[in-house]
Structure 1
Amino acid sequence: MTSPSWLTVTQGTAPLLVSIPHTGIDLAGLDSRLISTWLGRRDADWWIDKLYDFAESLGATVVHTAISRTVIDVNRDPSGVSLYPGQTMTGLCPTETFDGDPLYRKGEEPGPSEIDERREKFFVPYHAALQAEIDRLRALHGKIVVYDCHSIRSVLPRLFEGKLPVFNLGTNDGKSADPTLQEKVTQSLAETGESYVVNGRFKGGWITRHFGQPQAGVHALQMELSNRGYLREPEGKGEPDNWPVPYDAEFAAPIRVTLKKILETAIVWAER
């Protein structure tokens, strides 16, 4: 079956599936309904696809959507139920940014039927691709690791207090991955000397929680990086003249060493 143009699946044979759900900036024709296209793209996980572009060389399978999270967030519960009850989060089809700025011109917000259409058009194919690759890799290996890649601004008062650690590892409070795998990845984080937390503010989104089934041989990790770990992140929430900042390979090189080590660790763990 041919994948839609916005969905990229690169198949590998290692026991590792890398999911990249939030780097997309394709607004799927919503441009005129949004207050601005820049605002519609501000909360993308900027340059995460570049940051992890070594994954294929490790033999990992990579699934990537080009559709913006403003159109639909493929890492939310498709029913619309909050993954973090009591905490501020954007929805399946967000109508405001992380900062609370409205995304749509008045009266242009999506209604229930449009949300259903977007779910069928964009959410379902992405998750079907993940499931198909999980099934393919499980046929090759006794256990596999699903690694979900994310990033976010270091300071977002509406979503969390203070400054987020550089590395935020989530395993749904230990439910989505074997504790030994979590321990090995945590050790790699500790060795960096940078700030990190395990199952803190970001415990894992829908991808981690839905696909992480250790009893079935599928172990899922979410890595949420603070932007300052790999970008020259500006102060404040970012404005059109300074956000996003260009990707700087030299600046990002140190964190790439750690991320590569983490993916290699996951592969070795799964193979053993």
Structure 2
Amino acid sequence: MTAFVHLHRGDAPLIVAMPHTGTDLAGLDARFVSPWRARRDADWHIDRLYAFAADLGATIVRTTVSRSVIDANRDPSGASLYPGQATTELCPTTTFDGEPLYAGPARDEAEIARRRAAFFDPYHAAIAAEIARLRAAHPRIVLYDAHSIRSRIPRLFDGELPQFNIGTNGDATCDPALTAAVSTACTADQIVNGRFRGGWTTRHYGRPASGIHAIQMELAIRGYAPEPAAPDETNWPPAFDPAFAAPLTATLRNVLNACLDFAK
């Protein structure tokens, strides 16, 4: 384990992975246009929103490094997960809105390799180790990849994103019964394998035939935090208020219990 990987170990057949909660710029602050811009696209407060998962016996793995330093949910080879669609890279050069991240020259291949070894590889080593540990104790386990995003980002998708965006890469990463159970636990404001079909984490680890079922949940931030129409440095990120988030938290508790019921 490194200082950039936080692990809470549980014994239930459920791992909650959080690749984008980090805001640590790893000493690169001066290279970015601004620290605020470099942190803006984080999955804000997801670790607090899912804190209850520990009470369910889940294992929680998260990285504290900003996705602007390296995105722990991208293919490390650099291949796009969404060919033909706008996205960001393993070590992003732009924000979700297409704004430049770097004030000067962007990172080169040697720098990408350094960041992968320092931040990406330890995070995924932790996930792989926990999968092996729990799979040895359970016939099947669920890897739940937890995310959130602004409700409106025209560069990435049209209109307003549904509240719940379930990704299984067309049920390649998990049994359809798990997809159905998670979908049933959500409200009607949802889509399965829409704009977000599951990132590298779900696609890499999901092996239903081997008892490893991976599913991604991308939440629209509006469901758990007051989301401004136009985020700027005066209003972003929105504060986390447990009372505001309570209705969505209750739904997410049902979602994770559905994952546990499937695994058990």
Bin of the TM-score, shorter chain as denominator length? over 0.9
Structure 1 match to 2:30: 32
Match of 1:139 among 119, 122, 136: 136
Matched, 1:160 2:157: yes
Tell me the amino acid that sits aligned with residue 143 of structure 1: R
Per-residue deviation, 1:106: 2.0
| Structure 2 SS opposite 1:49 | helix
| Structure 2 SS opposite 1:264 | helix
Rounded Cα–Cα distance in structure 1 between residues aligned with 2:4 and 2:79: 26
How do residues 139-218 of structure 1 correspond to structure 2 at under 5 angstroms? 139-189=136-186, 192-193=187-188, 195-218=189-212
Rounded Cα–Cα distance in structure 1 between residues aligned with 2:191 and 2:205: 22
TM-score by length of 2: 0.99
Rounded Cα–Cα distance in structure 2 between residues aligned with 1:265 and 1:155: 29
Structure 1 match to 2:113: 116
Structure 2 segments unaligned to the other structure (5+ residues): none
Per-residue deviation, 1:14: 0.2
Structure 2 match to 1:104: 102
Match of 1:267 among 255, 260, 263: 260
Structure 2 match to 1:226: 220
Per-residue deviation, 1:229: 1.0
Matched, 1:58 2:51: no
| Structure 1 SS opposite 2:125 | helix
Structure 1 segments unaligned to the other structure (5+ residues): none
Rounded Cα–Cα distance in structure 2 between residues aligned with 1:35 and 1:57: 40
Rounded Cα–Cα distance in structure 1 between residues aligned with 2:100 and 2:71: 16
Rounded Cα–Cα distance in structure 1 between residues aligned with 2:259 and 2:94: 36
The superposition leaves residues 119-164 of structure 1 with CA deviations (integer Å, 9 ceiling, x where unpaired) of: 1111111111000000000011000000000000000000011110
Moved over 3 A (4+): none
Rounded Cα–Cα distance in structure 1 between residues aligned with 2:31 and 2:218: 30
Rounded Cα–Cα distance in structure 2 between residues aligned with 1:231 and 1:245: 6
Matched, 1:240 2:233: yes
% same residue: 56
Structure 1 match to 2:82: 84
Rounded Cα–Cα distance in structure 2 between residues aligned with 1:106 and 1:8: 32
Aligned residues: CA RMSD:
0.7
Per-residue deviation, 1:175: 0.3
> Number of matched residues?
264
| Structure 2 SS opposite 1:177 | coil
Matched, 1:126 2:123: yes
Rounded Cα–Cα distance in structure 2 between residues aligned with 1:12 and 1:106: 44
